[in-house]
């Protein structure tokens, strides 16, 4: 369903569409992370991906609670944006042989994922506030805080040893 689908008529519809979009995205990320864990070499990075996989599984569960609060069954809609980001990550990683360069490529791909999530959660939180879904806000905020923390950790790793080793 496209953004301007005729099924989206109100802000509530738009909120629900975007919730389904991030729900689909989180589930795709749960599927993609094990491969990134496998491909990474730096122990700190590997462990960071592992702990974000655990967090991401919780993001899926929190979103299911948000659906419940909104009185809807949890369901996703195709999100070509996250599919594209994950696809591109696989393409780039597939071409890199040097382990340190591969780590740098994985960090860059993971940050693109985090930034996608951050933009979606930021939007959902402001719409939830506008629409009076205050009960959904704290759940969405917890996800957003973990995405931001993950992004920061990735930046620290990129600026620390990983990119230096790859250079
Ligand atoms: Fe997430
Ligand atoms: Fe994330």
What are 71-87's pLDDT values in tens digits?
A: 999 999 999 999 999 99
Query: Which ligand ends up closest to the CA of 149?
Result: 2
d(CA 20, CA 8): 13
Tally of CB atoms within 10 A around 128: 23
Mean of the pLDDT values across residues 27-42? 96
- Ligand 2 centroid distance, CA of 53 (Å): 8
User: What pLDDT score does 1 carry?
Assistant: 47
Distance in Å, CA 83 to ligand 1 centroid: 14
The pLDDT confidence band at residue 4, using thresholds 50, 70 and 90, is low
pLDDT tier, 95 (very low <50, low <70, confident <90, very high otherwise): confident
Question: How many beta carbons lie within 10 A of that of residue 80, not counting itself?
Answer: 10
The pTM for the full model equals 0.91
Tokens 């590997």 belong to 46
Nearest to 103 by CA among 149, 27, 160, 23: 160
pLDDT at residue 41, rounded to an integer = 94
């Amino acid at each position: 369903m496209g953004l301007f689908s005729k099924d989206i008529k109100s802000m509530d519809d738009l909120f629900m569409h975007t919730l389904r979009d991030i729900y689909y995205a989180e589930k795709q990320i749960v599927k993609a992370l094990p491969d990134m864990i496998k491909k990474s070499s730096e122990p700190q990075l590997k462990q960071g991906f592992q702990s974000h996989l655990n967090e991401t599984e919780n993001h899926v569960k929190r979103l299911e609670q948000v659906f419940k609060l909104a009185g809807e069954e949890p369901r996703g809609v195709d999100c070509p944006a996250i599919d594209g980001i994950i696809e591109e990550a696989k393409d780039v990683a597939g071409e890199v042989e040097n382990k340190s360069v591969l780590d740098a490529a994985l960090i860059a791909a993971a940050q693109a994922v985090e930034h996608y999530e951050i933009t979606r959660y930021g939007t959902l939180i402001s719409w939830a506030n506008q629409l009076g879904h205050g009960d959904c806000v704290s759940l969405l905020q917890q996800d957003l805080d973990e995405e931001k923390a993950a992004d920061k950790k990735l930046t620290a790793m990129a600026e620390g040893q990983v990119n230096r080793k790859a250079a």
